[in-house]
Amino acid sequence: MLVEKHAYGKYLCIPNWGIGTEISSLSDCFWNRERLEQDYPKLSKVDIISIVKTLEAHSAHM
């Protein structure tokens, strides 16, 4: 999982899952979950929540 910045904000990339999307702050679970659900409707809710909670946990160490 890669989380990086670009000119307009942050993005998330999980290459082996084919995921690449913009995200909000790492701790913004609601927005990030909505974005993943919208962009990747075939992802399971468990996978989406796992990704979002991982981002949130990572924000505590940044």
Task: Confirm whether 2 is domain-assigned.
Answer: no
Task: Confirm whether 8 is domain-assigned.
Answer: no
Mean pLDDT of 12-26: 95
pLDDT in tens, 20-52: 999 999 999 999 999 999 999 999 999 999 999
Task: Confirm whether 12 is domain-assigned.
Answer: no
Count of domains forming the chain: 1
Task: Confirm whether 50 is domain-assigned.
Answer: yes
Q: Is the pLDDT of residue 8 over 90?
A: no
Cα gap 44→31, rounded to integer Å = 17
Determine the structural domain holding residue 62 and report its residue range: 24-62
Task: Confirm whether 16 is domain-assigned.
Answer: no
Type of residue at 9: G
Task: Give the pLDDT band of residue 11 (cuts 50, 70, 90).
Answer: very high
Interacting residues of 43 by C-beta distance below 8 A, sequence separation 6+ = 17, 19, 36, 37
Task: Confirm whether 37 is domain-assigned.
Answer: yes
